[in-house]
Chains A and B, each alone.
Chain A
Amino acid sequence: MRLPLTRRAWTSAGVAAAVLAALLFTGFYFYLRGGGPVPSWVPIRPAIQDPLAPSEPPEQVLRSMRLAGFERAVAGEGAGFAIVRVEVPSVGSPADVEIAWQTGAASLAEAYPDAGRYVVQVFDPSQALVEVRWDGDSARDAVTADDAGALFSSAQFVHLTGEVSE
C-alpha cells in the first residue's frame, strides 16, 4: 500500500520546508539587521537607505538640527518616546541651552507627531549638561502656540553628570 508512505513523505517534506523557511527568514532578518541593502519594494525598512529617498523621522530630526547649526546630534525612537541628543557648539549664555532644547522639542514634535513623550539631551563638546522631558501633548501644544513659557513650565529637567571627553 503506497498511501501511508506518501503521507509520511508529504509530512517530512512539509517539516523540511518549514525548517528551511525558518532558516531563510532568520538569515534574512540578521542580514537586514547587519546592514544589508534591500530593494525599495521590500516592505521592511531598508538597512541602507537610498540617499535620495525621503528622510525617515530620525534623519528629519538630524537635518533640522543641522539647519539650526548643531553639528552633532543623535535621534531615535523608543517605546512611546522620541529623543534627540544635541551638542551645542559653544555655550556662551544660558539662552544657548534653552535654544537647544526648544529646537529639539520642535524638531521632534514635527518628525514624531504621535509620540507620547519627548526627550532632549543637551551636551557641549566636553560634557553632558541637562535632559529635558515633556508629555507629548503638552510639548506639541506649546510648539504650535509658539509658547516658550508653557514649554518651560511643563518640562521635567534632569541635571546630567559625566564628561564626553577628557
Chain B
Amino acid sequence: MSRVPKKALALAAAVVMLLPMAGAHAADAGTYEHVWSLQTLVSGSVGETRQRVLSSSAEMALEGGVYVGSVTYSDLLGVSTEEGVGSQESQISLALNGTPLEGGVAAGGTFTGTARIDMRDASGLDDAVSDDVRGREGRHVLYSVSGHWGARLDDGLAEGEIIYERAAVSEGDETLAEPAPYFNRASVSNPDALGDAQLFSALVEGIAPTDGGSSGGGDGAGEAGPGGADGDSAESRGPSFFEYVLKGLRGEELELAAPVPEQLATAGRLLYEANPGGATPLPAGSLAIDVHVAGSYLDAKNRAAGLLDDTGPSIAGAGDLGASVAAARAAVPGIPAVPTNEDAGLTWATRGIEALASQADVAGAAELAEELALVRPDAGRTRVLMLRVRALAIEAVGASESYGSVLRGAAAVASGVRDSKLAEGARSDAVLAAADDPRSPVSATDVRSFSREEGLDTSGTASFETTSSSLLPELAMAAAGGDPLAYVSSTGLVRLEPAVWLAYRRQDGAVYWLAEEDGTVALTDGSLRGWAFVTRRAAVVDAERAGRWVAVFALR
C-alpha cells in the first residue's frame, strides 16, 4: 500500500463516520430495527403505542462470494385504543442469502424465516410491555415469512433494508397467505402498498479492506475483485493481464460471462459447491449453469440452433418425448397417501427405511437408513417435503424394472445440440445479447430500438382475477398477489409499479414490456419449457442491455 498523508487519513475517517449518520439508516451496528405499522397508524387521536425491544441482532458474513446473514429480534408492543389495551410480543428469526452488487459496494438477496406473534390482554401500556405480561395466556400465530433485502457496504459495515413480501400461516395441509405489509413499516404516502422497509446494520465477517487488490482497500468488498476506489465497477473495467495471472495462481473460477439474478446465482452455486457424502467429486474445470455460464445464454444458443421455440424443444428424431415422459410417470405404482392420524415426516422416513432394507447391496443405503432413523416427530412442512422426495428417490433405485425409456429421444436431443450450427442473423444476435457480448448490436440489446407492439401494451394495475390474460406483465403481477414486483438492485430494493407496460418485439421474435416510456427495465418471458419439466417465470432485464437479467419471478 502506498503511504497516505496523515491528514488525508483523518479526513477519510471522518467521512466514513459521517456517512452512516447522513443516511436514513439509524440501526446500530449488529442490530435490526423494527417499526410496526401499528406504531404509525395508531397515534394522535386514534390511540397510543409503546415499544420495548427485548433483543435484536444482525449478523452477516461473506463466504465464497456469497453473503449469508441472520436477523433475530424480539419486542413487546403495547397498543392502546378506545377499545382497550393489547400487548403484542414478537419473535422474529430470519436467514439472509445474497450476492455482491455493483462491484461490491452493495449487496442484496432474499430471506426466509419465521415470525411468532403472541397477543395478550393488558391493563395499560406499562403492563403491555412488562415482563409480567409474557407469562400470561394469549393467542399466538407462527408465520413463515420471506422477502428481499439490500444493503450498502462501507468499510465492512452493511447498512440495509428488509422488505417482507410473503407471510404465510400453515393450518393443517393448507397454507394461508397473510398480508406481508403487517411486517413492514407503514407507507404514509401510499398506504395501500407493501409498505416501507425495516432497517438493519451488520459488520460483515470475511471482508478485509485490502482484499480489493489494486483498489487499495476501502471499498469494503474484497470479493468484488478490481472494484476500484475511483468508483469503476468490475463489470465495466475488466481484469488486467496481471489480475488474470493472480486469479490463475489462486486457482479462482472464471467470472460469469453475463450476470444472473441473485437467486439464480445462489442456487447455481449451492448445487455446484455441494459435497454430499458418497458422491464422486466434480472434476476441476466443470461447467455449472448460472455459475460459469448463464442459463439464459444456453437457451438463446438452443434457439439460434433451431432446437427450441416458444412452445418448447423442436428436434427431429426426438419423437414424442412428452408422451414418453407421461408414460413413465403413469407406470409408477400408486403411492399411498399419509393417513391424517399419522405424523407425515415419520411416515415418509419409515417408508424410506423399509425400502432401504431390500437395498443392502447399494452403497450408502446403511448410512441413509441411519439418517432417516433420526427423524423426529412434528417436522416442519419443508422437512416433510424433503423426506417425501427422499422416499421417492429410494423407490426409484429399488424398483424391480424401469418405468419407461426416454433414451432415444434424449440422445436425439443431445446429438442435435452437438451437430447443429447457429443460424446467422437475429437469433445469433440474441445469443450475443444473452452473453452480454460487446459485439451484440443495439438492435438486439436496446429494448427501445425494437419494433413497437402497441396491441400488447397493458396497464400496470393487475387484478387478482387476471387468470385469463396471456400478457406477461399481468401474469407476473397476478402471481405477486397484487403486490408490486420487488427485487434488489445495486441501488437497493426496487418495486416495479409502472402505470403502463409498453410492448416491443425484437427481430428474433422475443417480446419485451418496458416499464413505462422512461423505464430502465423491461419484462420478458424467462420460462424454461423442457420436454420433461416446465418452469414458468418472468424475467426483469436491463432495458438497454436486454441480455442482463436483473430478477426473475415465478408465474402460476
Residues of A near any B CB (own CB < 8 A): 27, 29-36, 47-48, 51-52, 54-55, 58-79, 81, 83, 85, 87-99, 102-103, 105-107, 109-111, 119, 121-131, 133, 142-144, 146-149, 151-152, 156-166
Q: Which of B397-415 contact A (CB under 8 A)?
A: 397, 399, 401-408, 410-411, 413-415
Chain A's closest residue to B254 (CB) is: A35
Contact A147 B407 (CB under 8 A): yes
Chain B's closest residue to A166 (CB) is: B95
Chain A's closest residue to B356 (CB) is: A159
Contact B407 A106 (CB under 8 A): yes
Contact A30 B407 (CB under 8 A): no
Contact A51 B278 (CB under 8 A): no
Question: What is the 8 Å Cβ interface bit string for chain B, positions 382-399, against chain A (1 contact, 0 not)?
Answer: 100110011011111101
Chain A's closest residue to B274 (CB) is: A164
**Known contacts A51-B432, A94-B403, A95-B396; is A67 also within 8 Å of B282 by CB?**
no
Contact A52 B431 (CB under 8 A): yes
Q: Which of A73, A110, A158 contacts B364 (CB 8 A)?
A: A158
Contact A159 B414 (CB under 8 A): no
Secondary structure class of chain A's binding surface, majority of residues: mixed
CA distance A68 to B318 in the complex (A): 11
B4 within 8 Å of A by Cβ? no
Contact A107 B414 (CB under 8 A): yes
**Known contacts A36-B241, A83-B283, A164-B274; is A106 also within 8 Å of B410 by CB?**
yes
Chain B interface category by residue count: 35 or more
**Known contacts A62-B298, A111-B414, A126-B386; is A74 also within 8 Å of B286 by CB?**
yes
CA distance A106 to B414 in the complex (A): 7
User: Which of chain A's residues have a CB closer than 8 A to the CB of B278?
Assistant: 131, 158-161
**Known contacts A74-B287, A142-B407, A159-B362; is A55 also within 8 Å of B328 by CB?**
no
Question: What is the 8 Å Cβ interface bit string for chain B, positions 263-282, against chain A (1 contact, 0 not)?
Answer: 00001101110111111101
Contact A51 B297 (CB under 8 A): yes
Q: Which of A61, A76, A130, A161 contacts B282 (CB 8 A)?
A: A76
Contact A72 B267 (CB under 8 A): yes
Q: A61-B414, A96-B532, A122-B393 are in contact. List 16 more A-B contacts (CB 8 A).
A: A30-B248, A31-B241, A34-B246, A36-B245, A58-B285, A64-B417, A69-B531, A69-B532, A70-B530, A97-B392, A106-B406, A107-B413, A124-B386, A129-B390, A157-B359, A165-B270
**Known contacts A35-B254, A123-B271, A130-B397; is A67 also within 8 Å of B364 by CB?**
no
CA distance A55 to B362 in the complex (A): 36
Contact B402 A66 (CB under 8 A): no
Contact A152 B402 (CB under 8 A): yes
Contact A95 B331 (CB under 8 A): yes
B332 within 8 Å of A by Cβ? yes
Q: Which of B293, B408, B413, B532 contacts A62 (CB 8 A)?
A: B293
Contact A147 B405 (CB under 8 A): yes
User: Which of chain A's residues have a CB closer than 8 A to the CB of B363?
Assistant: 156-159
**Known contacts A71-B295, A94-B399; is A161 also within 8 Å of B410 by CB?**
no
B516 within 8 Å of A by Cβ? no
Contact A143 B411 (CB under 8 A): yes
Contact A164 B533 (CB under 8 A): no
Tell me the minimal C-beta distance from B516 to chain A in angstroms: 30
Q: List 30 A-B contacts (CB under 8 A).
A: A29-B248, A34-B245, A34-B249, A34-B252, A51-B432, A60-B418, A64-B413, A66-B289, A67-B315, A68-B413, A71-B528, A73-B288, A74-B272, A74-B289, A89-B535, A96-B392, A98-B403, A99-B328, A111-B418, A124-B386, A126-B386, A127-B276, A129-B393, A146-B408, A148-B406, A157-B359, A158-B279, A159-B359, A160-B364, A161-B371
